[in-house]
Structure 1
Amino acid sequence: MKRLFSLIFLSFSLSFSYAQVSIKGKVTDAETGDPIPFASVLVLGTGKGMNTDFEGNYELSFSGEADSVRVSYLGYITQTKKIGSSANQTINFQLRPSDFELEAFVFEAGENPAFEIIRRAVDKRKEFDKRSLEAYETKNYTKIEIDIDQVSDRFTQRKTVQKVTAVLDSIRQLTNDEGEKILPVFFSETISKFYYRNNPELKKEIVEKSKVTGVGITDGSTTSQITGSVFQEYNFYKNWLNILDKEFISPIADSWKVFYDYDLLDSVLVGKDSCYRLQVYPRREQDLAFSGTIWINKETYALKQVDLTVPKSANLNFIERIKIQQELEPTSKGPLIPSKSRIQIKIGQVSPNTAGLLAKFYTATDSVILQDPLPTSFFNNAVELRPDFGNAGEDFWKRNRVDPLSSEEIAILQMVDTLKKIPIIRFYSEGLKFFATGFLPVGKVDLGPWTEFGNYNNVEGFRAGFGMRTNYSFSNKWLIQAYLAYGFKDERFKYSAFVTRILDRQHWTTLQFKSTKEIDQVGLEMESLAGNSIFLAASRFGTLRRPFISTTQQLNFQREFFKGFLLKGGLQIAAFDPLFNFYFLEQENRELRSRFETTEARVGLRYGRDEIIIINDNERVSFGPSKWPIFEVNYAKGLQWLGGDIDYHKLSFYLYQRLNMGLFGVSRYEVDAGKVFGEVPYPILKNHLGNETLFYTTAAFNTMNFNEFASDQYVSLRYRHSFEGFLLNRIPLMKKLKWRAVANGNLLFGSVRNENVLNVPSLDPAGNPLESFGRLDPTKPYLELGYGIENIFKFFRVDFFHRMTYLDAPEARPFVVKVSAQIIL
C-alpha cells in the first residue's frame, strides 16, 4: 500500500512539473518606455523561444522544467526573470540600453557569407522600391510625442522648474525605469490619406482628422500639417535617407560595401516568411550610417523588417540616438510599403544645467490602394487639411486608433494639458516664439517684429520703432501689418504698412497693397535682403552705405496655378531721394539731377517641382526642394508714360539646387543672371553684394567691398560644399573633434554699357567729386575661393577666402577671414 501511495504521489508530482505553462508580456525600452520589437525571448531549459512583435509583445506556451525566461537584443543589456508557479503568467521586461561597440570580425577563408545576401537584395532594389509604382494611396495613423528627459537635479532645483513640478506632482510623476523624471510637452494624433504618383513624382497628404496638444501651441492648423505621415517617411530602398536634413546611407545602397560590414546571425521565421537575420555595422564609426539588424526574405531577397540605430559616435551634434524600426509588406504588384514605422530621436543635454529632449514618432498604414495616377492638379498642395479636421471626439479616436493609448500616454495627455496652462510655462514658451518669429501674439494681433524696436546708425542716430500685424484669429482672409519708426538724429518718421487679401488658399491667390517710407542703401536694399534677416540687420547698424530715402507704393498679385508654379505680378511707384552726394544725367535734356522717380510694372514666374510648402496661418512656408532645382524668372518695365522719370527693362533669372553627393557630402549652388536694357542711373543697375563685415554670409561675395562693382548685364555662380566629415573623419587626431570641412567658390561675369557709364558725371554742380561705381572687365571674371571648418565646439564656423582676381583694385582685400555661429546637427 505504501508503494502504491508513493507511485500515485510521484505521478501527480511529475504531471504537475510538466504541466502546460503560458507566459506573455511586453518588452520595452527602460529609458523611453517604447516597445522593443524583434527582441529574442527564450525560456531557458526548454528550447522554446520567439521574437517580440512590432509592439514588443510576446506569448509562449511550454511544458517541462523551466524556472526563468531571458530576453536579449543588440544594443541592450540582456535580462532574465524568474517564472512563477501559476499556469498563466504575465512577465514584462524593461531593457536598458548598452553602449554599442563595433566588433572585429575575421573570416579565415572565402567571402563573408552575408555579402552575397546583400548583393542579391541590392540587385532587386528596383523590384521592391515603392517608387516604381505608378500610383498608390494609403490611409495612415500617425502619433507623435515629445518629452523633456534627462531632467537633472541641478535643472529641477531652478525656481522656475520647481513651480512646474509642484503642479505636476498633484497629477502624476512620469519616470522612466531608472527613476529619472520626464516632462511631456507635446502629443498629437493624425488620421490622413497619402497619395503618390510617378512620372512626374508627386506626393500629397490630406489630413482628415488631427488632435494636437502641446506647450506653446496656439493654432492646431499649422502644426497639424507637419504631424502627418509625409514628414515621417523613411524608404530604405533609396541610396540615401534624409533625416533631420542630413543624408544617411542605406544598408542596401549601391555603395553598401564602402560603408558597411555585415554578419549573418541566423535564419528565422518572421510571420510566414523565412528570413536571413543580418547584423549591420558602419565601417567607420563617425559616418552617417546605421547599426542594427535587418531581416531579408530568403526567397525574394526583399526587406522584411529593419531595426536600425545611428550610433552616438556618428558625426552629429546634440543627437544621442536616432532609431528607426519598420515592418514592410508587399503590395499586390510587388513593391513594399511599410506597414508600421517607429522613429525615436534623442537629443542630449547641451550642458549639465539643461535637460534633454526625446521625440517619438509612430506611423501605421491601415490600407493600401493601387490606382491610376491622379491628375497633377490634384497635387497642388503638398499638405491639405479637411475643413473639419479638428472636430473629432474621443469616440472617433477610440474607433480609429490602430492601438489603444497606453496608461502612460493617457497620463501624458493630462500632463501636457496642465503644463500649457501654467503661467511660467506660457511665459517662456511665448518668449521663445517671440525670439524665433519676431512676433508676440496678443489676442487677434501679433506685436513685432522685435528687430524694428530699436537700432543705431550714423544717419538716424538712435532709432525707435513699434509694429504689429493681425493673425489667423483675426481673419483667414485678411492680413494687415504695419510699423512706425523714428530717428532721433535725422528727426524723420519711417513707416511700412500693407494689406493683403487672401482670395484663394487652395491655389494661394493673394492681392496686396503696400506703402513704405524708409531709409535704404544702394546695393543693400531691404527688399532684396528680406530672406537674409541677420545680414540685413547687421548692415543697417552703424555706418550706412550710400543711404537714400525710399518712398514706395506697391500693388502685388500672386497665384499658384499648379504645384510649384507660382505667377507674380504688380505695379510699383517709387521715389529715390539720396542722402549722399549723388547725381545722374537725365535722359532727354542731359541735365544733372539727384532725385528720380520710377513707375515699374513687374511680372515673375517661380517653379519648384518637388518643393514642399505648407500654409502657416496666413503665410506660405517653404521646406525647400528635395531633389529638383528651383527656377525663378522676373521681368520689370520702367514706364515713363505712367509718371516715371526713366524708361527701361530689367530681366533676371535665378536657379538654386541642393545636390546630395553621397560619400562626398552635400553641395548647393545658385546661378543668378540678368540684364538691364536702357540708360539708367547706377542705383537701378545690379549693384553686386559685397561683405565688409566680419561675419560670413552665403548671399554675398565675401572679399568684395560694398558698392565695389555694378553691372547692367551679369551672370554669377555661387557654390558651396559641406564635406559632412568625409575628410576629417579619416584623420585619427581630428575625428574626435567632429570638425567638418567646407569649401566655397564664387564666380561673377559682368559689364556696363557705355551709355550707363557716361550717365554718371564725375563732378556735381558745385564742382565736388562724386561717388561712382566700379566696373567689371567683360573678359575677366571676379573670382573668390574659400575653405574652412564648421562645427567648432558644435556652434562656430571659420571661413578663409582668397580673392583671385582684381587684386590691383583700390582697397582690394586679397585674403579675409569670416566667422559665423550656427546651430547644425
Structure 2
Amino acid sequence: MVFEVKILVFVFLISMVGELASAQKITLTGKITDANTKDPVTYATIAVKGTSVGTHSDFDGNFHLELTRIKDSVTISSIGYQPKSVLISSTLVQTLNVQLQPSSQILQEVRIGPKGYVNPAWAIMKEVIRHKAGNDPRSLQSYEYESYSRIELDANHLSEKLLRKKFIKKALSLADSLKITDADKMPVLPLFLSETISDFFYQGKPEAKREDIRRTKTNGIGFEDGTLLAQLTGSSFQQYNFYKNFVSAAGKDFASPLSDSWKGWYDYELDNRNAVVNGKTCYQISFKPKRPQDLAFTGTIWIAVENYALYQIKATIEPSANLNFIHQIAVQQQMESGKPDEPWLPQKTRILLEVGQLTSGSSGFLAKIYTVNKNTISNRVYPPDFFKNTISVADNAQTKDERYWDMNRPDSLTLAEKSVYHLIDTVKSIPTVRNYLMAADLLINGYYREGDISIGPLLNSYSYNNVEGNRIRVGFKTNSSFNKKWILGGYLAYGTKDQDVKFGTSVDFILSRKNWTEAGISFTHDLNQVALLSDSYLYQRNNLFSAFTRFGKIDRRKVFDQDIVTAYLKRDLFKGFTEKVSISNWSLDPQFLFQFNDPKGGISHQLVVSELQLETQWSPGSQPLLSETVNRAIHLKSNITAPVFTFRYTLGLKGALGGDFSYQKFSLNVSQTLKLGGLGRGKYSFSAGYIPSTVPYPLLENHLGNQTFIYNPNAFNLMRFFEFASDKYASLSYTQHFEGLLLNSLPLIKNFKWRLVGTANLLYGDISRNNKINIFDNQSIALKGLSNNPYIEAGYGVENIFKFLRVDFIHRLTYRDNLNSVNGSPKNFGIKISAQIRL
C-alpha cells in the first residue's frame, strides 16, 4: 500500500513538472529583413503554426512574441515576399533573424460575393476620407521637429561586361573583404552615403517650409561638395504625405490609397479588424491598383480605430507600373501621435528605390533613404521673415566629429554601413573610376573635363550646311579647379566651304555666392541667322535643336556675319528674384540682299545695333543653393507648380558705339507646370511683346519656326523659318503628358508602356504700318505679318517608345496656303522626332 502511494505521488509530481514546464513562457525575438537589400521588412506577419497567435514586426523589422506552450514553427509573411517557416526549439529565449526573399506576388483579386455583398473595407475607407481633413498634418497651423536622414546609393546587378573590368573586380574584392554584399552574395558597389541632422519647420497658411542643416557627413564617388549635397539630401526632400490625393516621387504623381477618388484607383481587402500595433488597435487593410500599369501603390495600411487616422503604411510601386528604368519604389512610414485631437506626424520613414540597368552593359542602382523625426512642436507662431530662406547650412556643418554622430544618431550604424565610408574613399582613388566619371559628365553636360578646363560642348563640334560646308568647332571653359571665381572660355570654328575662321571668347567673374552675383564680358565673330533672332525665352535651352540649326540650307534663313560684344551683371536680389543688366553692340553684315532707310540719311546695307537690356525674373519658391565647387548659379524649386515670370525691356541706343537706331522693346513670359492628377502633368508658356518703334525687320520679333526633324516644344513646329514677324504679339504653347491614361487599358498596347502626349501652339501678331513698309521694301524676303487670324497648330503623339523616343504628329490649322517665293507651299502636316529621358 505504501508502495502504491509512492507511485501515485511520483506520477503526480511528474505530471506537475510537465504542467509547470508547459506553462513556462517561450520568448521569441528577432528581426525580419529583405534578403537582397538587408533592409528591415516593416509590419511583417509572424504567425504561430496551428494557432491564431501571432504578431507583427515593427518599423525597424524587430518583433517580440511570447508563447505559453511549445509549438512546432512560426511562418513569416509580408506582401511582396515569399513566406518562410522557421522551426521553434524548446529553448526558453530564442532569437530568430529571418531574411525574406522578394517575389513578384501581388494581392489576389477581390472576390465579390452574392448580390448585395458590401466590401467591409469600404465602410472603413469612407470614414477615413470623412476624417481626412482633421487628420491631415497640413491642418496644423505649423509644426517643427528635429530630423535625421541617411541616404545610401549602391550599384547592383552589374553586367557581365562590367564584372570583367579590372577596376570593378578590384572594387568588389574590397567590398567582399569588408562584408559589403547582399544575402545572395551578389556584388554590391557602394557609391554614395550621407547623413544629415537638421531642424525642419512647416507653416500652413501661407504654406512655407524651412530646413536648418546643423550637421552633415557625406562621401561619394563623383560627389565632392558636401555643403551642396546636404541641401539636396536633407529632410525637405523626404516628405511623404499620403493624405494628399497624389504623392509625388521621381517626377511622377502616384495616386494615394487615401485619395478622395480611392474607389476608382484601388481594390481593398480588410485583413484584420483588431490588429494591435505598438499598443494601438488598428484596422489592417490591404490594397492594390485596379489596373497594374497605373501609377498607384500596392501594400497595406493600418488605420487607428480611435480616430480613423493613418498610423502605418507599407506601399510599393510594382514593376508592372508604367515607369521607365525603375524596378521598385517602396515607402514605409510610421506616424507619431502627439497632443490629443491633433493630427499625427511622420516619425519614421524608409524609402527604397531600385533602378534597373539602363543598358545591357551597365548596372542597376539601389537608393536607400531612412528618416527619423523627434522633438515635435506644433502650432508655433513664427516671425514674418522666418521662412525667407528655405534652406540654410550651419558654418560648422561639415565638422568631422565621430563622437557627435555617435551621440545624435537615432540608431547606430552597422559594421557594413561604417565600412561604406572607407570603401568609397578607396574606390575614388582608382584611375579608371575617375575616367568613367569624366565620361558621364561628357554625356550629361556635353563637356569633357580635363584638369582645370572642360572641353566642349560636344554637340557643337561638327555640322554641315550650304554656306560653311563642313564646320569644325573646338571650345573650352575653365572649371572650379582652375579658379572658384574666374571662368574663362573660348572657341575656334572653321568652315571648309567659306574658308572663314570664326571664334569667340568670354570672361566671367563670380562676385558673391551667398546672394549669387556674377558679371562677364564676351566677344564673338561668327555666322548668325535672322530667322533665329527671336526673343524666345526658352529655345536656346534646347541644345539639340540649336545644334541642328547649323545643318541644311541655312541661306534661306538669311545668314549674316556678326561681331558681337556683350557685358552683363546678374544678381539674386532676394529669394526667387533675379535681376540682369546687359549691354551689347553687334553688327549685321548680310550675305543676302538687305537694305533699310538709314536714319542718318540714304540707304544702308549694313546694320549696327547698340542696346541696353534689363531682365527681371521672379520664380516663387525658388531657393538658391550654396556651392563652392560649381561655378554657376544653382536654384532649386521647392514647388514645381509655381509659375515663373520673366520680363525684359530693351532700349536701342542710337549713336552709342555706332548704333544706327533708337528703339524700345517690351516682352513678358509666364511658364508653369500643372499637376492634373489622373490626367498627368501639363506645361504652358505664355509670351507677349510690344515694339512701339520703327525698326528694320531683323529687329522685329521673327517668330521661331522649325524646319528640322527635331521636335522643339519652344518653337512653332510647322511654321517655316523666317515666315512671320510681329511688333506686337501674344503666344501660348501647351503640352500635356497623359502618362498611361487610355493606353494603359488597351490590350497588347499596354505592355509597351507607351504614353500619350498632346500639344497646341497659338500665336496672335500684327505689324505697324511703318514696319510693314520696311519689310515690303525688301523684295528678296518672303517674311509676312500675321493678319487678323491667329496662327494655330495642334498635335498628338506617343512618348516612351523604347523608353526614350517620342514621335509627334502635328497639324497646321491656319495659314495652310501661305505661299512664298522662297519656300513654296507650307507643310500642313508633319512628323517630328525627339529623344527624352522620362521615368
- Give distance in 2, aligned partners of 1:166 and 1:291: 34
1:596 aligned residue: 607
Of the candidates 289, 309, 319, which is equivalent to residue 312 of structure 1? 319
87-96 or 506-515, which moves further after superposition? 506-515
Give the deviation of 1:360 after TM superposition: 1.2
1:347-496 aligned at under 5 Å gives the runs 347-350=355-358, 352-370=360-378, 372-374=380-382, 377-496=385-504
> What code does the residue aligned with 1:630 have?
V
1:235 paired to 2:241: yes
SS of 1:398's equivalent in the other structure is helix
1:160-175 aligned at under 5 Å gives the runs 160=166, 163-165=169-171, 167-168=173-174, 171-172=177-178, 174-175=180-181
Is the 2:446–2:457 Cα contact (8 Å) retained in structure 1?
A: yes
1:739 paired to 2:751: no
- Give distance in 2, aligned partners of 1:577 and 1:336: 69
633-642 or 362-371, which moves further after superposition? 362-371
Give the deviation of 1:595 after TM superposition: 1.7
1:808 aligned residue: 817
Q: Measured at CA, do residues 526 and 481 of structure 1 come closer, stay the same or move farther in structure 2, by a change above 3 Å?
A: farther
> What code does the residue aligned with 1:58 have?
F
- Give distance in 2, aligned partners of 1:534 and 1:703: 18
- Give distance in 2, aligned partners of 1:5 and 1:585: 128
> What code does the residue aligned with 1:583 have?
Q
1:8-27 aligned at under 5 Å gives the runs 8-9=13-14, 11-27=16-32
- Give distance in 1, aligned partners of 2:287 and 2:553: 58
Of the candidates 524, 549, 568, which is equivalent to residue 516 of structure 1? 524
Of the candidates 188, 194, 204, which is equivalent to residue 198 of structure 1? 204
1:652 paired to 2:660: no
- Give distance in 2, aligned partners of 1:371 and 1:598: 58
1:675 aligned residue: 690
Of the candidates 614, 623, 631, which is equivalent to residue 618 of structure 1? 631
1:86 aligned residue: 91
1:749 paired to 2:764: yes
1:766 aligned residue: none
Give the deviation of 1:403 after TM superposition: 1.2
1:209 aligned residue: 215
1:95 aligned residue: 100
| Aligned positions, number | 817
2:549 aligned residue: 539
Is the 1:346–1:359 Cα contact (8 Å) retained in structure 2?
A: yes
Give the deviation of 1:612 after TM superposition: 5.1
1:584 aligned residue: 596
Q: Measured at CA, do residues 346 and 166 of structure 1 come closer, stay the same or move farther in structure 2, by a change above 3 Å?
A: closer
1:708 aligned residue: 723
Cα-to-partner distance string for 1:697-733 (whole Å, 9 max, x where unaligned): 1011111111111111111111111111111112223
Of the candidates 794, 797, 812, which is equivalent to residue 785 of structure 1? 794
> What code does the residue aligned with 1:578 have?
P
- Give distance in 2, aligned partners of 1:462 and 1:53: 66
The gaps in structure 2 that reach 5 residues or longer are 820-824
> What code does the residue aligned with 2:650 have?
A
2:232 aligned residue: 226
Cα-to-partner distance string for 1:409-467 (whole Å, 9 max, x where unaligned): 22333332222222222211221112211234444443433344444444334444443
Q: TM-score w.r.t. structure 1 length?
A: 0.93
- Give distance in 1, aligned partners of 2:355 and 2:393: 30
2:540 aligned residue: 530
Q: TM-score w.r.t. structure 2 length?
A: 0.92
> What code does the residue aligned with 2:243 have?
Y
Is the 1:344–1:360 Cα contact (8 Å) retained in structure 2?
A: yes
SS of 2:540's equivalent in the other structure is coil
1:771 aligned residue: 781
- Give distance in 1, aligned partners of 2:776 and 2:109: 75
1:717-736 aligned at under 5 Å gives the runs 717-736=732-751
Give the deviation of 1:696 after TM superposition: 1.2
SS of 1:759's equivalent in the other structure is helix
- Give distance in 1, aligned partners of 2:780 and 2:383: 60
Alpha carbon RMSD of aligned pairs, Å?
A: 2.5
2:304 aligned residue: 297
Instruction: Report % sequence identity.
Output: 38
The gaps in structure 1 that reach 5 residues or longer are 764-768
1:571 aligned residue: 583
1:59 aligned residue: 64
> What code does the residue aligned with 1:610 have?
G
Is the 2:474–2:493 Cα contact (8 Å) retained in structure 1?
A: yes
> What code does the residue aligned with 2:246 have?
W
- Give distance in 2, aligned partners of 1:463 and 1:226: 40
1:126 paired to 2:129: no
Is the 2:140–2:379 Cα contact (8 Å) retained in structure 1?
A: no
Q: Measured at CA, do residues 208 and 465 of structure 1 come closer, stay the same or move farther in structure 2, by a change above 3 Å?
A: farther
Is the 1:761–1:770 Cα contact (8 Å) retained in structure 2?
A: no
1:554 paired to 2:566: yes
Give the deviation of 1:86 after TM superposition: 2.8
Give the deviation of 1:480 after TM superposition: 3.5
Give the deviation of 1:655 after TM superposition: 0.9
Give the deviation of 1:305 after TM superposition: 0.8
730-739 or 351-360, which moves further after superposition? 351-360
> What code does the residue aligned with 2:73 have?
S
1:275 paired to 2:282: yes
393-402 or 678-687, which moves further after superposition? 393-402
1:68 aligned residue: 73
SS of 1:241's equivalent in the other structure is strand
- Give distance in 1, aligned partners of 2:624 and 2:245: 25
2:710 aligned residue: 695
Cα-to-partner distance string for 1:515-563 (whole Å, 9 max, x where unaligned): 3333222232599543111111111234433222332333322333333
SS of 2:333's equivalent in the other structure is strand
Give the deviation of 1:483 after TM superposition: 3.3
- Give distance in 2, aligned partners of 1:649 and 1:681: 13
Is the 1:148–1:355 Cα contact (8 Å) retained in structure 2?
A: yes
1:640 paired to 2:647: no
